[in-house]
Structure formats: C-alpha cells, structure tokens
Structure 1
C-alpha cells in the first residue's frame, strides 16, 4: 500500500479547492516576516488563518513552526514523491519545491493558467504587461464581473483610482482607528 503524498499548503492556499483530503502540512514561518517588512495586521491574519485551518483539518493537518520552510519539510522527511505543492505562490516556493523534488501540481487559485497568461504576454513589450490589459479579455471571455457585455461597476478597472495619493499634509485619512 502506498501512502498519499503530503500536500504543503501556504497561507494563500487554505481554501477547500487546494485540499484533496490527504495529509497536509502547514508551516508557520516567522522568518518570512523578518526578511521583508510586513504590516502587523497582515502577519496576524496569515498566522491566524494557518492556525484556524490546522485546527479545522483534524489529525491529517500538521502545523509546524520553523524559521525555514525547507528545514520544516526536510525534518519531517518530506521530499521527493512524499511531498506535493499546488502551483507555487512565489518563485521562491517553486524553486524550493523543485530543490526538494516535490511534485508541483497545476495552479488552482487563478481563473487562468500560466500557459494562457504566457500566450497573452508573448510578443508584448514590458510596458504593455499591465494586468488591467490582461483582465479585460479574460472578463469578456469568461463573463466574470460582467453584466451582459458591460463590465460590472461600469469600468473594467479601478486601478487608477487605487493609485490616488493621500491628500497633502493629511495626518489621517478619516478612517476609524483599528
């Protein structure tokens, strides 16, 4: 009898569509927050989500605290065929999965595949690789966030609005305290 590989899920992959019912490992890696500035609330949400997912998964979900994803996985003998990853949430995760010899499954967290994005991007100048330009044809093809032939909300993108700078000299943005 062969044992199902353990699936390593990252904090961005905690939804049910990433879990096929086999063993799961979650790694609470505090070093990630020391390497790059991370808003405290974001760090709290990541850690809280990992812990809640661990508790809701019962005995088949293991939560490990470590200063390195690689150390956490190697210490548990999770390399080669014993480990699988759904897509990879970053180039670093993909490189680690490859270094460990893990099986990298197709992405499940996106509407489109890497191949469809690569096909769209092929031949475009770097200045043309703007997500808004990719999302528009995807929305038109899939009907997602569309009302008939028109974009929901009247626009395909609100990115421009999201880039507005705060008012000059403003000490707050008029939002309630956390």
Structure 2
C-alpha cells in the first residue's frame, strides 16, 4: 500500500559516504568549508541531508521532481502521529548543512545549491524543540484508543534527545561523541 506513496523505496542512512563530490560543491557554492561552517555550524559531511538531497536532485532528477516532501526521521514520525506534514525542529535541522544556525531559518544559498524548490519540499516552517504541533490523528484514536486530546510535540534526533534527557541543569555540560556501531 505505501510503496506508491514514496518517490524512493530506500533512503540513505548516517553511514552513507557516497556524496563527497556533492560536499565539495556545497562548500564551493558558499565560498569554502569555513564559510559553510559559519552558516550551518558544520563543514559538509557525506551523511548530512543537504549533500544527500543534492545527489538525488542531480543524479536522479526525475525522482527529485516527483518528490513532494523531504523529511527527517524525526518529523516523519511526528507527521505519522499528526496525520499531516510536521515541520522540522531546529535542533535536528541543524545537522543538514542547510540551516542558518544564527538566523534559525533555512540558508537560501545552501538550499538553492542542493535542489530546486527545496524549501517547499522540506518545510518552510521550522519549530523549536518540544513545540506542540497539534493533537494525535484520528486513526490512532480509533484504532489504538489514544485520547483524542493527546498532544504531539515536535520530534528530534538522537543527539538532541540525549542532550534534553541529560541536561536538566543549565550548568550541565554534555559532550556527544557521535554514533558507534
């Protein structure tokens, strides 16, 4: 049933390293790696969403053109629970090489480099972590007995979630060493 709902049957995971060329193009488009760091808080990494989107947009443009919405796992989960598209939260969005981290909005320069009409495909609206997005979809109320007033908040990635779980005190310092397999 869902196969016809997606423009791709697979998606890259955090271990993907196939976008070195795209990373170099993104850095060049904004000047260099240091400029990209100043905008997005990070140099270009192969696993980041921006370079992955650019790869699809340039190497399989028909798939990119057929794609109505691009989501991270976090806002995809929130979308399922809401029954409608959920926005990307700023903390998870900051790991895409697309977000101007100082302005808390998409970097037009990065978006335009990675794909046509990308802001529309992602979500024009960005939200702060733990933003109430709405009530749970009717499907979950009827099928699983959820309270119809159950609030869905923005979901985020594993590293920001770890931070929120550990840093309840403003004096707490949390250092993430990344993912291990």
TM-score past 0.5 threshold? no
More strand by share: 1
* Bigger-Rg structure (1/2): 1
Q: TM-score, normalised by structure 1?
A: 0.29
